[in-house]
């Protein structure tokens, strides 16, 4: 394996992440929510397992949002005109983000509510 490939692969991955954060409104919202949840977790001193659950939940939302961006971009390339199947692909990808986000709210409630109102 060429030694330049691995650093280039990491650079490209970071470029992709930065693209989403910079240009995707919902990714900005998810990143702000993730930072707030992280700060709250630190303040409430979540234990190791609670923190792992929080990190997995946050990462699932961020990954879902990035995959949604991939689907939307690919659909726009393949089908620049309005097409019912293109709409289905975009709607399903957005639905995946919605499910991950709703579940993350439940996880946040379970992790934080009792500790906040003791």
> At a CB cut-off of 8 Å and minimum separation 6, what does 16 contact?
66
Distances in Å between the Cα of 74 and the Cα atoms of 6, 46, 89 are 25, 39, 10
- Using an 8 Å Cβ cutoff, are 75 and 89 in contact? yes
Of 46, 38, 12, nearest to 104 by C-alpha is 38
Q: Is residue 65 among the annotated active site residues?
A: yes
Rounded CA Rg of the chain: 17
From 24, 65, 81, 114, the catalytic residue: 65
Q: How many helices (H) and strands (E) does the chain have?
A: 4, 0
**Active site residues per annotation:** 65
């Amino acid at each position: 394996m060429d030694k330049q490939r691995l650093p280039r692969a990491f650079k490209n991955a970071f470029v992709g992440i930065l693209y989403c954060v910079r240009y995707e409104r919902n990714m900005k919202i998810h990143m702000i929510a993730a930072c707030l949840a992280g700060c709250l977790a630190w303040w409430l001193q979540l234990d190791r397992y609670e923190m792992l659950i929080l990190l997995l939940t946050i990462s699932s939302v961020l990954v879902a949002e990035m995959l949604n961006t991939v689907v939307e971009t690919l659909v726009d390339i393949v089908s620049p005109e309005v097409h019912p199947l293109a709409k289905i692909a975009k709607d399903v990808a957005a639905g995946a983000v919605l499910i991950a986000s709703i579940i993350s709210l439940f996880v946040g409630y379970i992790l934080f509510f009792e500790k906040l109102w003791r």
